[in-house]
Amino acid sequence: MKKKVLITGGAGYIGYHLVRQLLKRKDVYITVLDSFLYEDSSLNEFKKNKNLSIIKGDICNLYDMVKVVKNADIVIALAAIVGDPACALDEEQTYSSNYHSTALLVQLCNYYKVKRLIFASSCSVYGASDILLNEGSKLSPLSLYAKTRIMSEELIKKNVSQNLEWIILRFGTVFGWSKRMRFDLVVNFLTANSFFAKKIDILGGDQWRPLVHVSDVANALFLSIFADGNIVSREIFNVGDNKLNVQIKDIAEKISSKIKKVRINYKHIPFSDRRNYKVSFDKIRTLLKFEAKYSIERITSKEINAVINVLKSGWITTGHKNLEFAKEINKIVGSKYCVPLNSCTASIHLALIAAGVKENDEIITTPMTFVSTINSILYLKAKPIFVDIKENDFIMDEERVERFITKKTKAILTVHYGGFSANLDKLTQIAKKYKLELIEDAAHSFGSKYKKKFIGQDSKYCCFSFYPTKNITTGEGGAFVTNNNKIFKRVSRLGLHGISKDAWKRYSKVGSWKYDVKEIGFKYNMTDIQAAIGLAQLSRYNELKKHRKIIYGIYSDGLSKVKEVEIVKGNNYSDPFQHLFVIRIKSKVINRNVFIEKMKEKNIICSVHFIPVYRFSVYKKLLTTKVKDYPQTEKAFQECVSIPFSSSITKKEATTVIKEVNKIFS
C-alpha cells in the first residue's frame, strides 16, 4: 500500500527537492498543491511520473483543499508567504496565507483522519539572542513572518485531534540552488550580487545566521515522513547543522574566495541586527538521525562547471567521465585498475564477494569503525570477528590477529584510521601464511602512504570513500582499486547488475546493443555527474592535501602543550593525507562528554570517531561480543574527540579552536 503524501507549495524552492527525493521511492504517491504564482515549470521533469499528481489550487480555498486533503495519509505544509520583506507587503494577505490557511488545514486533517501533519516553520521565531537556542528556548518574534509562524504552531498544538501526529520543523536560513530559485536569502543574494555587481555590501558583519542547504531541508522533511511516530510525534525540531552557525562576514569572505574580482564593502552600523542568533540542532540529529551534507564552500566553481558540462553532454549516468575519474585515481594511487562506485560501502561489499566470502565465514576486523564496514560483512551472512586496537593509532592490533584465526576465517578486513595506515607488511604476511584474503577499508585514507607507497598501490582489494567530509568528494561516492585484472572485471560487472559491458559503449558508434548478464549484481555504479565533481576535486588534490597538513600542524603546535590533551599521533610508517584530528581527554575533572558540551557552548562542534560497533543495539542482538574483551577500544572511545578538521577550515578558525580548548583546561 502506497503512502499518499500531500505537499502544499510543492512546486516551490524546497518542494522541488522534496518531490525529487520522494519520487525515488516506489511506495509513495505524491500530490502537489501549488498556486504557481510565479511560474509552473519547476516540476516539469516529473510530470510524466505515475506516482505524482500536480494540482493548481489555493491553500485558502475550502474547495481546493478538500479535494487534496481527503485522500492524504500525510500532509506537508510548505505553502506560505515566506520571508520578512514579502510578508510586510500586505499584512492582511500574510495573515490569510500564513495563519488562516493553517486553521483550515488542521480542521480538514482532523475531519479526514490524516495520519501525520508536518508543518514548515522557521528558526526566526527565536529573535535575537547571544546564547545557543534550542527548541525549548523563549520565542521572540521580530517580524510579521515569524509571528504568523508562532501563531500557526500554537494553533496546531492546541487543535489537532488525538490521533493526528504532528511534527513542526523550524528551518534555519536556507541556501542553495533549486529549480524554483529564491534570491532573497542571504547566501543566494550575496552570491548573485558577487556575479553581477562584483561586490558585496555588508552592514556590520558580526551577525550570526544558522544556515542549512535546501537539499538538507528536503531530507529533513523526507525523514519526518518515514520516522517512527513514537519518537517524533508532537515534537518540534530545529533543522540545520551546528557547524553552519556562521557570521555574515564569514559568508561574504567564503563567497568572495570562490568568485574572482569581488570587492567586499563593510559598513559600520550603530544598531544591533535584530536577527542575530545561533541555534542548536542536536535534537534532530539525535532523534531523526539527520546529518547535513552540504556547506557553503565545499564545492567550488570548478566542480560546478564540470557538472554543467556533463549535463550539456546529454550523458549523465556511468560513461566517459567515470573512465577519466578511474584513470586519474590510478595515476595518483599507482594502482592498475579502478572501479568508481556510489559509496565505500558498495566497494567493501563487492570486495568481500570478489574475495569469495560466503555464509558463516569469519572476517577478522576492528570494532573501531563506521557501521558500513560491519554491515557489508553481515550482508553476506558472514561473521565479523573483532580484534582490539592499538593505543597509538586506533587501528586493529596486527600482533593480536593470529590468535583469532580459525578454520572458518576467510579474510582480514583492516581499517585505515584518520589517514593513518595499518601495518600492511605484517597483515600481508599473516594473510599469506593462512591463505586469507586481505581487504582494506581505506575510507579515511585516499592519498595517504604506507612506507612511501600510496595506500592501494599494491592492493588486491582496496576501498575508498568520496563522501562529502572525506579528503576529496564526489558528493556521494566511492571506489574500488586492485592490481588483479580478474577481480577488476568481476567487481565492474557486480557494480552494475552483472551486465557484461558498459552501458555507454552500447550507444557508441562501434558498440552493439547486445549484452549479457553473467551473474546477479547490484546498482552500485557512479554517475558521470559524480565523476565530474571528483575530477574537479582531483585537479585540486595537492592544494587540498597541503591545506590539511597546514591545519594539522597548527593544531599540533597549539595543543601539544595542553597537559590534559593527548594528540593521537599515529604510527611511524604512515605518511597521511590527514582526514581527522583526534585528541584524547586526560583530565580527571573534565571528561570527554563534558569537553564536547563546553566546546558546543562556544559553537565549536566536535565529534567522536567512533562509537565501537558492538555498542549498537542491532549488533548486540546479532553478535556475541563482550565489552571487556576490547580494553583499548573502550579506553579510546571514552577519551577520544575529533575536533573540527576539513579542507575548508581556515587558519583563523583553527586558532579559535585552540584558544577555546586552552580556556576549558586553564
> Mean per-residue pLDDT for 603-616?
93
CB contact at 8 A, 97 and 81: yes
CA distance 476 to 534: 10
Instruction: Calculate the average pLDDT of the chain.
Output: 91
Give 282 or 254, the one with higher predicted confidence.
Answer: 282
Please list, in sequence order, all residues whose beta carbon lies within 8 angstroms of the beta carbon of residue 464, skipping any fewer than 6 positions away: 329, 344, 347, 442, 443, 445, 446, 456, 478, 479, 480, 481
CB contact at 8 A, 411 and 437: yes
Q: How confident is residue 307, by pLDDT bands cut at 50, 70 and 90?
A: low
Q: What homologous superfamily does CATH list for 3-297?
A: NAD(P)-binding Rossmann-like Domain (3.40.50.720)
Active-site annotation holds for 470: yes
Residue 113 gets the label, from left (phi > 0), alpha (psi -120 to 50) or beta, of left
Give 319 or 329, the one with higher predicted confidence.
Answer: 329
> Mean per-residue pLDDT for 474-498?
94
For 218-241, the three-class secondary structure string (H helix, E strand, C coil) is HHHHHHHHHCCHHHHCCEEEEECC
Assess whether pLDDT exceeds 70 at residue 508.
Answer: no
C-alpha distances (whole Å) from 604 to each of 597, 601, 650, 658, 659 are 9, 7, 14, 11, 11
CA distance 225 to 429: 51
Grid cell at residue 174: 536556507
Per DSSP, which regions of 9-84 are E strands? 28-34, 52-56, 74-77
For residue 524, which of 339, 293, 303 has the smallest C-alpha distance?
339
CA distance 208 to 322: 40
Q: How confident is residue 536, by pLDDT bands cut at 50, 70 and 90?
A: confident
Angle in degrees, CA 84, 86, 87, rounded to 5: 65
pLDDT of residue 518: 85
CATH architecture of the domain formed by 542-665: Alpha-Beta Complex (3.90)
CB contact at 8 A, 230 and 263: no
Give 502 or 285, the one with higher predicted confidence.
Answer: 285
CA distance 205 to 266: 7
Give 649 or 11, the one with higher predicted confidence.
Answer: 11
**CATH class of domain segment(s) 304-538:** alpha beta
CA distance 245 to 277: 9
For residue 6, which of 82, 40, 57 has the smallest C-alpha distance?
57
Q: How confident is residue 233, by pLDDT bands cut at 50, 70 and 90?
A: very high
Coil vs helix vs strand at 6 = strand
CA distance 446 to 576: 9
CA distance 287 to 4: 24
Q: Which of 4, 179, 470, 545 is catalytic?
A: 470
Grid cell at residue 67: 479535494
pLDDT of residue 271: 47
Amino acid at 650: T
pLDDT of residue 314: 61
pLDDT of residue 507: 47
Give 254 or 211, the one with higher predicted confidence.
Answer: 211
pTM of the model: 0.62
Lowest-confidence region among 216-230, 449-463, 497-511, 592-606: 497-511
CA distance 64 to 74: 17
Residue 497 gets the label, from left (phi > 0), alpha (psi -120 to 50) or beta, of left
pLDDT tens, residue by residue, 145-164: 999 999 999 999 999 999 99
pLDDT of residue 551: 95
Cis peptide leading into 610, omega within 30 of 0?
A: yes
Please list, in sequence order, all residues whose beta carbon lies within 8 angstroms of the beta carbon of residue 366, skipping any fewer than 6 positions away: 373, 386, 387, 389, 395, 396, 414, 415, 633
For 551-586, the three-class secondary structure string (H helix, E strand, C coil) is HHHHHHHHHCCCCCEEECCCCCCEECCCCCCEEEEC
Percentage above 70 pLDDT, the chain: 93
In the chain, where the domains are located? 3-297, 304-538, 542-665
Percentage above 90 pLDDT, the chain: 71
pLDDT tens, residue by residue, 15-26: 999 999 999 898
CA distance 225 to 274: 33
47 burial (CB, 10 Å; 0-12 / 13-18 / 19+) is exposed
Assess whether pLDDT exceeds 80 at residue 268.
Answer: no
Assess whether pLDDT exceeds 80 at residue 649.
Answer: yes
Assess whether pLDDT exceeds 50 at residue 136.
Answer: yes
